[in-house]
């Protein structure tokens, strides 16, 4: 421990704080602990607190079960929700976890992250995605250009494909997508 060596050398708390890049309060607290118990008292201790409900072997069982997919566990869609994961954890290990504990299990212990499925409209047309937020401009989907909003404007130009005779600011000119 560097702090213990510096205490033994008789350095001041301010000097040790500067050298180690910590606050004066931390150095004073360390010095008090060092004076009472020596260098061993300054060593890191294992974290205190409640032990996890699932041991490492149980976490591996849960990982294996989740990797099989939700449908393998009797769910209609192959999507995991906190509730579904909680049910699988309980089936596999016999341990009931709260939603918060399921989230910690997934993110901290398993290293998984939130993945939201891509939403698709039921009545999606072949050329344009329903409910698109592209503000009426032409967008590229592969090599095909699609017109997302062909409602006419007051000036007679389509939102997507301006008519050549419609008054328009030069900076707003868009290439025609051939639909409007």
The answer as to whether 18 is a domain residue is yes
Domain assignment of residue 159, yes or no: no
Q: What is the pLDDT of residues 116-175, one digit of tens each?
A: 878 877 776 555 455 444 444 444 444 444 444 444 444 544 444 444 444 444 444 444
**Domain tally for the chain?**
2
Listed in order, strand segments (DSSP E) in the chain are 139-141, 144-146
Examine the domain organization and report whether 61 and 98 are in the same domain: yes
- DSSP assigned state of 46: P
The fraction of the chain above a pLDDT of 90, given in percent, is 42
34 and 69 belong to one structural domain: no
Q: Which domain holds residue 10?
A: 2-42
Residue 134 CA to chain centroid, in angstroms?
25
Q: Provide DSSP, 121-155.
A: -TT--SSS-TT--STT--EEETTEEE-S--PBPTT
Tell whether 124 is covered by a domain: no
Q: Is residue 28 assigned to a domain?
A: yes
- Is the whole model's pTM more than 0.85, yes or no? no
């Amino acid at each position: 421990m560097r702090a213990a060596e510096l205490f033994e050398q008789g350095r001041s708390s301010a000097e040790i704080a500067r050298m180690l890049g910590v606050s004066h309060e931390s150095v004073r607290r360390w010095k008090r602990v060092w004076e009472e118990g020596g260098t061993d008292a300054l060593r890191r201790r294992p974290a205190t607190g409640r032990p996890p409900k699932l041991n490492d072997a149980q976490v591996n069982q849960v990982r294996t079960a989740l990797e099989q997919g939700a449908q393998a566990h009797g769910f209609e869609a192959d999507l995991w929700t906190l509730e579904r994961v909680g049910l699988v954890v309980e089936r596999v290990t016999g341990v009931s976890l709260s939603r918060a504990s399921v989230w910690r299990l997934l993110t901290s212990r398993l290293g998984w992250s939130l993945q939201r499925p891509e939403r698709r409209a039921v009545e999606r047309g072949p050329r344009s995605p329903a409910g698109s937020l592209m503000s009426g401009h032409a967008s590229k989907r592969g090599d095909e250009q699609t017109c997302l909003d062909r409602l006419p404007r007051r000036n007679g130009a389509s939102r997507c494909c301006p008519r050549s005779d419609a008054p328009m600011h030069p900076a707003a000119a868009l290439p025609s997508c051939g639909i409007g």
